Amino acid sequence: MAGRRVENQRRQKYGTSSYVSGNTARKLAAAPQRRYEEYDIPKEVEITEEDRIAIRKKRKAIHRANRLNFLYTVGVSAIIITIFAICLQYLNVQSQVKTNSTAVTKLQSELNELTNSNDELELEINAGIDYEQIYNTAVNELGMVYPERDQVITYDAGVSEYVKQYHDIP
């Protein structure tokens, strides 16, 4: 009796008897179809036009909700991709700023070295000038003299930083 009960349970579970002709593989029952009560219309019951309209509205609402879920997913994905792209650009700009700041620092130190070198060379040049010897050479060897008061002509240069001479000054 217990053996029959096990056999019956096995038949209910697998849908076949325990004996399989020509094959030892068991045939499992296929998964039952899902039933959506809101879509299924009982065959025995007469439906009115109002019920059909209500069912159509439910179907449209579900379809609309699924479409909105898809649009929401696409929108969120687009926003995430945009934020990711902006972050990548920000990191790229930060990298360029750091690179440029190190280059600027290097160039500033080079400029300071060149400025110091130029100042030292200018001091050496100015220290090497003997103004007394220039005066003696100009006066004694070349015969130069200081101008008289009536020989000096002054002029106003104006805004320009240089003067163009078109004729000899009298």
Write phi, then psi, for 56 (nearest 5 degrees): -60, -40
- Of 170, 133, 139, which Cα lies nearest the Cα of 155? 170
SS (H, E, C) 84-111: HHHHHHHHHHHHHHHHHHHHHHHHHHHH
pLDDT of residue 61: 84
Mean pLDDT across 108-113: 95
Distance of CA 1 to the CA centre of its chain: 77
Answer left, alpha or beta for residue 168, where phi above 0 means left and psi between -120 and 50 means alpha.
Answer: beta
pLDDT tens column, 17-39: 555 555 565 656 666 665 555 55
The Cα–Cα gap between 89 and 25 comes to 60
Residue predicted with more confidence, 151 or 24? 151
Q: List helix spans (H) across the chain.
A: 2-14, 49-127, 131-136
**Token duo for residue 169:** 């000054």
Buried residues in 100-110 as b, exposed as e (16+ CB within 10 A): eeeeeeeeeee
pLDDT tens column, 123-146: 888 888 888 899 999 999 998 888
